[in-house]
Amino acid sequence: MATAICMPKNGMDMEEGTIVKWLKNVGDKIEKDEPFMEIETDKITMETESPVSGVLLAKLYEDGAVVPVLTAVGYVGEPGEKVPENADFEAVEKKAPERTPAAASQPKAAARVLSNGNGIPATPYAKKIASDKGVDLAEVIPSGRHGEIRAIDVENALNAQPKATPLARAMAADLGIDLKTVAGSGYRGKITSADLTPEEKAEIEAAVKEIEAVLERRKLSGMRKVIAQRMSASHTEIPNVTQNIKVDVTELLALRAKINQGKEKPDKVSVNDLIIKAVGKAAAEFERFRMTLEGNEYVLHNQINVGMAVGIDDGLVVPVIKDVDKKSLVEVSKKAKELAKKAREGKLMPDEMGDGRITISNIGMYGTHSFTPIINQPEASIVGVCGTEDELALVDGEVVVRKKMMICVTFDHRILNGTEVCEFESYLKNLLENPISILI
């Protein structure tokens, strides 16, 4: 019996995935655990492996399709084996015979009756054609065995529409004009843009100017959609406040130079590594920075897990370094480099991105003076790291140049109070200005 291959569910919050590319064609042999397609989730791009060996019998969705998790996307089985009768996919529809006269004579209301209030049943390919061509499925006569609309039904509906140029059809769709009410002046009665009324043409010209002013429209990727949703939710749901503190990092930079002396580049410690270790130490000292809010309860977490925001080509991911307080600076540095590399290559696993307690967003390399980082829910706070600037300071009666950096902490005011954050920032400032204490 043919086996369904499904869109996997990677992580509790994954609801859908995008098929980036099929790695196999119908008829190709597939071994068990062999990748058969590449998918994109809201966080990563990954390959999906087949649960069984056989040949690919059917593809239910094409490249670019967004599919709910645990939904069948194809079937694998023995050569020549039939897939279940209710499996809808393009290859079957292309081989299907034309509608019988009996089917063609069905009333248009049939499509609505068969929906039973749950939408109009149609195959995935039929839905795709209808969406691409702007066809209302409610106006299409179904001919499927179970009352579903097939691709050929959509094509027949298209052929039944008045003949019009693509521009006229697009303009009519934009203005809500029924082309059946327009007399065509083109070859064999084809409707052209000139057949629309002057008022309609004026609106169309304005719409065309607006379209011409737009260079390009791009669909949000799965990751971008989730980033937009979560950042919006974080900003609107959380009463967030940002407090800034200036830190003298002169000694921190000097310590880093000593640590890195004689080391090869891959083994060198970064300023960010020292800050991660310091933030982990501060989070261990102040327990409310490890709390989350669940309903009417505060949940205190034991692990000191520090997330680090990593910018990638089409978004942002937050890999998490677990148990920072139990790791040495060298171990933290090594793990940070490993996770950042995997993030940029799109190879992070779900368990490498969740369960964070506090996140660091470092944009100091861009020379940013100050900013307001957005909390990575459900965490209580996020630490923003800014650029290092030279400042004149009076030390032992002499004017000297010191390296100063702004640290910005955004916090959830439902969990943390301003005074608690002030104490946290003061503790973190002391660690960074006396960096040897970070290593003790």
State yes or no: pLDDT of 302 exceeds 80.
yes
Model-wide pTM > 0.95: no
Residues 126-149, mean pLDDT to the nearest whole number = 77
The whole-chain average pLDDT of the chain stands at 84
**Domain coverage including residue 22:** 1-87
Dist. CA 426–CA 420, nearest whole Å: 10
Residues 228, 175 within the same domain: no
Residues 322, 400 within the same domain: yes
Residues 314, 367 within the same domain: yes
Identify the residue with better confidence: 224 or 422: 422
Residues 72, 170 within the same domain: no
List, for residues 35-79, the tens digit of each pLDDT value. 899 888 776 778 888 999 999 988 888 888 888 888 889 999 998
Query: Is the CB of residue 339 less than 8 Å from the CB of residue 308?
Result: yes
Residues 262, 202 within the same domain: no
Q: How many domains does the structure of the chain reveal?
A: 3
Classify residue 168: in a domain, yes or no: yes
State yes or no: pLDDT of 80 exceeds 70.
yes
Among 110-124, 179-193, 202-216, which is the least confidently predicted range? 110-124
List, for residues 86-100, the tens digit of each pLDDT value. 554 433 333 333 433
List, for residues 167-183, the tens digit of each pLDDT value. 777 777 777 787 777 88
Classify residue 115: in a domain, yes or no: no
Question: Residue 421: which CATH number?
Answer: 3.30.559.10
